[in-house]
Amino acid sequence: MKDTRILKATKENFELAKQEILQGDVVAIPTETVYGLAANAYDEAAIQKIFEAKGRPQDNPLIVHIADLQMLHDVVSEVPETALKLAKAFWGGPLTMILPKNDRIPDAVTAGLDTVGVRMPSHPAAREFIRTCGVPLAAPSANVSGKPSPTTAEHVYYDLHGKINTIIDGGTCEVGVESTVVKVGEDSVEILRPGKISINDFLKVVSTVTIDDGVFTKLDDDRPVASPGMKYQHYSPNANVIMVEGSLSDFCRYVSKSANEKTAVLVFDGEESLFDIPCVTYGRRNDSVMQANRLFDALREIDRREDIQTVFARVPKQEGVGLAVYNRLLRACGFEIVSMEKAVIVGLTGHTGAGKTTVGELFRKDSDFGIVDCDIVSRTVITQPDVKARLVEYFGEEMLLKDGQIDRKALGKRIFANEEDRIFLNSVMFPPITVQINKEVQQLRQKGYHLIVLDAPTLFESGANIICDTIVSVLAPAEIRQERIMSRDNMTAQDALNRMNAQKDDEFYRSRSEFVIENADSPEQLNAQVERIITVLKEKINGN
Ligand code: TXA
Ligand code: MG
């Protein structure tokens, strides 16, 4: 067993680590993509140590890292013009080019191929270290073969401690997924492995970009492959990963149908409130850069949690670096993707007194719609012992009725007159409400409903809007609403106003809704507006 040390990325430490490289040892180094396990690219025996430490199959070639263009000529036998253009555009940076190798590069580096993958990293510590060593460094990702690539020095330590002497700590890798690997043609590139440098980036330099089959599909063992690394299952946590295609609500339905006590989900930031099973997030839904940065740590996080056997993962967008994120997840799940049948979850909300209840009734009359009444959900949640206990602790025993339940009327009065109290109540109520709403949606989906309405006065406040595929808001002029609330709830003008003032303004709803119902005229007008929306929603399901 080696006593693995982690060194800061300083000049003195580079000198120490250089000695190891020149003695024929391996050193783990930071790059802007992932950590690499580096050895002198000219030293065949040192290269063998990389394969041993990682447990890497011998037929999977390594990438050679260079500090400057001068070094490129020490590694390849020719530099085509297109390669030079690409180097100018993207080096230093996360691009690996497959080029004809020269004789100084041993077969062990290229797994016997007559080409070599070359990359000039942008990470200052990587560049400085290669320059200090004075030789090109062959380096695959510094993980145990088959595991997610390391994006921190701690990840490397976790995988390789005892097997290597030295890790240079350069902080968290900025990109988070490995470099784009390309075969260079004449005014064209073929992407063998997607990365941060994307199709659109390449199109600024060459006129044709193609993507190798291995990016999307599982390659047969006996088929010749463009990039040998792409044929292995990769990036896998110990648990079995399955990607579930579809909207968030589809995903939830699949999870509720298929989860057991050893299941976790891998979802986007903010979606964790929907699940009451272990949850790992990997960035915001529309932020591929962030997803790339977080994915590998998220996959490792799954292993850090005990006893998880299956992970259902949300499918990332495939644009830009998103294609790399998708490709890594595909490999993590061994190309297993399931798709869900289409459904539309409709959030129905709006101002109190605006006529939401009437609109809800119109939806209820149509038997194609399943309805989740979020008022009823909140009435159920408030009886949950843990919720009740927290409310009594805060609001006092005087909020309890004789039967031991919370006095909702008194509570309502108090929170609509006091913002701080309202915020507290919401913080206690909304998380379990969202979980319960989601459960009821899934039950309706299982009963065969494809159209589900969440009738939810506090749709946005509770966060339940995130599972909605579309939102319908009901609005009405303030005077009309005040009248309605006073007569409906038997309230004073002031109480009604308090209630109205606690809500968001029209603009808030308008900007977040696909459909806005203006309920200022006759019931017939209201009916007609709802009918129109129902027609459009049905068309969504039928794929028109
Ligand atoms: O960002 C990266 O590229 C990181 C950091 C450390 O630089 N390195 C990395 O190396 O990801 P590795 O070994 O994990 O992946 C190298 C990939 C493999 O898929 C391999 O098959 C491919 O590059 N490759 C290397 N040489 C090749 C060649 N001559 N022809 C085709 N594919 C090659
Ligand atoms: Mg690797």
Q: How many CA atoms lie within 13 A of 7 on its CB side?
A: 22
C-beta of 151 in contact with ligand 1 (< 6 A): no
What pLDDT is attached to residue 342?
Answer: 77
Determine the average pLDDT of the residues in 29-36: 98
Shortest-distance Cα residue to atom 15 of ligand 1:
140
Residue 406: pLDDT band by 50, 70, 90 thresholds?
A: very high
Residues with Cβ within 8 Å of 433's Cβ and at least 6 positions away in sequence, in order, are 374, 377, 378, 381, 462, 464
Nearest ligand to the CA atom of 226: 1
Residue 499: pLDDT band by 50, 70, 90 thresholds?
A: confident
The preferred substitution site among 141, 212, 213, 296 for testing ligand 1, maximizing ligand atoms within 8 Å of CB, is 141
Q: How many CA atoms lie within 13 A of 151 on its CB side?
A: 22
Residue 74 has pLDDT above 80, yes or no: yes
What pLDDT is attached to residue 388?
Answer: 94
CB of 337 within 8 A of CB of 242? yes
Determine the average pLDDT of the residues in 385-407: 92
pLDDT tens sequence across 151-167: 999 999 999 999 999 99
What pLDDT is attached to residue 58?
Answer: 87
Residue 228: pLDDT band by 50, 70, 90 thresholds?
A: low
Residue 270 has pLDDT above 60, yes or no: yes
C-beta of 144 in contact with ligand 1 (< 6 A): no
Give the SS3 label for residue 103: coil
Residue 164 identity (one-letter amino acid)? I
Q: What is the DSSP string of 317-351?
A: P-STTHHHHHHHHHHHTTT-EEE----EEEEEEE-
Distance CA 359, CA 363 (A): 7
Determine the average pLDDT of the residues in 182-207: 97
Q: What is each CA distance from 258 to 40, 403, 410, in whole angstroms?
A: 49, 39, 41
The preferred substitution site among 178, 183, 190, 327 for testing ligand 1, maximizing ligand atoms within 8 Å of CB, is 178
From the number of C-beta atoms within 10 Å of its C-beta (0-12, 13-18, 19+), residue 402 rates as: exposed
Question: Burial letters for 198-236: b for 16+ Cβ neighbours within 10 Å, e otherwise?
Answer: bbebbeebbeebebbebbeeebeeeeebbbbbbbbebbb
Residue 66 has pLDDT above 60, yes or no: yes
Give me 494's structure tokens.
């002031």
Nearest ligand to the CA atom of 60: 1
C-beta of 350 in contact with ligand 1 (< 6 A): no
C-beta of 150 in contact with ligand 1 (< 6 A): no
**Owner of token pair 């145990």:** 144
Distance CA 284, CA 292 (A): 11
What pLDDT is attached to residue 229?
Answer: 64
The preferred substitution site among 58, 181, 182 for testing ligand 1, maximizing ligand atoms within 8 Å of CB, is 181
Distance CA 367, CA 391 (A): 38
Query: With pLDDT > 90 as the criterion, what percentage of the chain qualifies?
Result: 76
Give backbone dihedrals phi and psi of 543, rounded to 5 degrees, phi first: 75, 20
Sign (positive/negative) of CA torsion 234, 236, 240, 244? Answer: negative
Q: Which helix or strand (DSSP H or E) is residue 96 part of?
A: strand 95-100
What pLDDT is attached to residue 224?
Answer: 55
Distance (Å) from CA 331 to ligand 1 centroid: 15
Q: What is each CA distance from 98 to 95, 101, 123, 231, 490, in whole angstroms?
A: 10, 9, 21, 17, 77
Q: What is each CA distance from 59 to 108, 109, 209, in whole angstroms?
A: 9, 10, 27
Distance CA 306, CA 16 (A): 38
C-beta of 194 in contact with ligand 1 (< 6 A): no
**What value does the mean pLDDT of the chain take?**
93
Give me 148's structure tokens.
């997610």
Which segments of 220-262 are extended strands (E)?
A: 240-245
The preferred substitution site among 29, 96, 119, 145 for testing ligand 1, maximizing ligand atoms within 8 Å of CB, is 96
User: Ligand 1, closest atom to CA 56?
Assistant: 13
C-beta of 110 in contact with ligand 1 (< 6 A): yes
Distance CA 143, CA 138 (A): 15
Distance CA 73, CA 69 (A): 7
Shortest-distance Cα residue to atom 31 of ligand 1:
227
CB of 138 within 8 A of CB of 144? no
Residue 278: pLDDT band by 50, 70, 90 thresholds?
A: very high
